[in-house]
């Protein structure tokens, strides 16, 4: 959610297989991101998606929630800009405990839905 030139983590969690993903989402709500900082901030700055196969391979300057991701075994992360009528409203993030390669077809489907 965009507020006062920063992104506040907010939203609904949908976790099918692993309750730790729900914990990760809940803990992520304690973070805010400036434009260009962290995965959500980079998505905001570039207005384009960012897919990371395994966030645990990044350093803390690239992924602010690195220690939390390691603790809860979060690996793949996808951030997508969310727009309404072409106006940036925030970033939607998706997580997985499995390391996954980018699925560009799936990403394009999500991008279309996030830009309606």
Whose structure tokens read 């962290």? Answer: 38
From residue 68, give the alpha-carbon distance in Å to each of 47, 75, 109, 111: 25, 11, 29, 27
Average pLDDT of the residues in 26-52: 93
37 band by pLDDT with thresholds 50, 70 and 90: very high
Q: Where are the domains of the chain?
A: 2-113
pLDDT value of position 79: 94
Lowest mean pLDDT among 4-13, 37-46, 52-61: 4-13
Q: From CA 49, how far away is CA 93, in angstroms rounded? A: 10
CATH architecture of the domain covering 2-113: 2-Layer Sandwich (3.30)
pLDDT value of position 3: 60
On average, the pLDDT of the chain sits at 87
5 band by pLDDT with thresholds 50, 70 and 90: confident
pLDDT digits (tens, 9 = 90+) for 77-108: 999 999 988 899 999 998 889 999 999 999 99
């Amino acid at each position: 959610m965009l507020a006062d030139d920063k992104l506040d983590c907010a939203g609904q969690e949908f976790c099918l297989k692993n309750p730790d993903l729900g914990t990760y989402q809940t803990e992520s709500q304690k973070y805010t991101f400036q434009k260009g900082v962290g995965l959500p901030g980079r998505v905001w700055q570039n207005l384009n998606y960012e897919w990371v196969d395994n966030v645990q391979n990044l350093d803390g300057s690239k992924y602010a929630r690195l220690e939390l991701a390691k603790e809860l075994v979060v690996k793949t992360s996808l951030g997508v800009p969310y727009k309404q009528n072409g106006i940036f409203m925030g970033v939607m993030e998706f997580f997985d405990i499995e390391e996954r390669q980018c699925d560009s077809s799936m990403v394009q489907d999500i991008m279309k839905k996030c830009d309606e």
